[in-house]
Amino acid sequence: MKISYHGHSVVQVETDEHNILIDPFISGNEACDLDAEIVSPDYILLTHGHNDHVGDTISIAKRTNAMVIAPNELAEFLGTKGLQVHPMHIGGKNSFDFGTVKFTQAFHGSAYTEEDGSIVYTGMPAGILLTINGKTIYHAGDTGLFSDLKLIGEMNDIELAFIPIGDNFTMGPEDALIAAKWVGAKTVVPIHYNTFPVIEQDAAAFAKQVEPGIGKVMKIGEAVHL
């Protein structure tokens, strides 16, 4: 299994048979190296409805017929756009042909802004526990620090965790260090930073402060294998 990072909160998971995109904010994201007109996932996983996370989901899913897996209200909204969707919700787990998805709590907001400026409420934000071939990846989504991250760590053997550090909209580096300890992943990768001036952070400094050998800054396009 190949897991690659593509700026902001964009993560791609590739197996021998499947291509999964998480929060594909590609167009308008100068930090992303992917091409929204070329990338071909068969599944798209979304943490919440903000435009910098839904990103190019609609155009990609229409072109590739990818199934969109998202929190219920967001999935239902995207279903009205003609997409193939699978609604889920916090605490729920479901098996797919690639593995299992379980949504966790995340403390944030969730709303999609249409081209005409209207705002559509898209339910609760979430984190994602993605398990493939016995290996679990945790994408925390956008969230502040909350104590149930301890429970997520205790209940799951997490190989790789993607945790936001940008501050302002999510937890900052100080809180993210606590989150990394509580989640207890074998590898922790910072995300959701440096995309905009207000969330500029020193990811290398954060990674050095995580428990030795656990913090890892992934360059744009860099991949790890599990």
φ/ψ of 21, rounded to 5, equals -115, 135
Q: To the nearest whole number, what is the mean pLDDT of the chain? A: 97
Question: In angstroms, what is the C-alpha Rg of the chain?
Answer: 16
How many other CB atoms are found less than 10 A from the CB of residue 213? 8
Residue 134's pLDDT is what?
A: 96
Express each pLDDT in 123-180 by its tens digit: 999 999 999 999 999 999 999 999 999 999 999 999 999 999 999 999 999 999 999 9
How many other CB atoms are found less than 10 A from the CB of residue 214? 16
Distance CA 62, CA 131 (A): 26
Residue 212 has pLDDT above 90, yes or no: no
- Closest among 55, 81, 83, 88 to 68, alpha carbons compared: 83
Residue 84's pLDDT is what?
A: 98
- Residue 188 falls inside a structural domain: yes
Range of the domain at 198: 2-217
φ/ψ of 216, rounded to 5, equals -145, 125
Q: What's 9's domain CATH number?
A: 3.60.15.10
Residue 81's pLDDT is what?
A: 97
Confidence of residue 218 (pLDDT cuts 50, 70, 90): very high
**Number of domains within the chain:** 1
Task: Using the structure block, give the residue that is written with the tokens 């756009």.
Answer: 81
Is residue 138 within 8 Å of 191, Cβ to Cβ?
no
- The two tokens of residue 86 are 């699978």
Residue 211's pLDDT is what?
A: 87
- Residue 95 falls inside a structural domain: yes
Over residues 40-46, the mean pLDDT reads 98
**pTM (predicted TM-score):** 0.97
- Residue 223 falls inside a structural domain: no
- Residue 76 falls inside a structural domain: yes
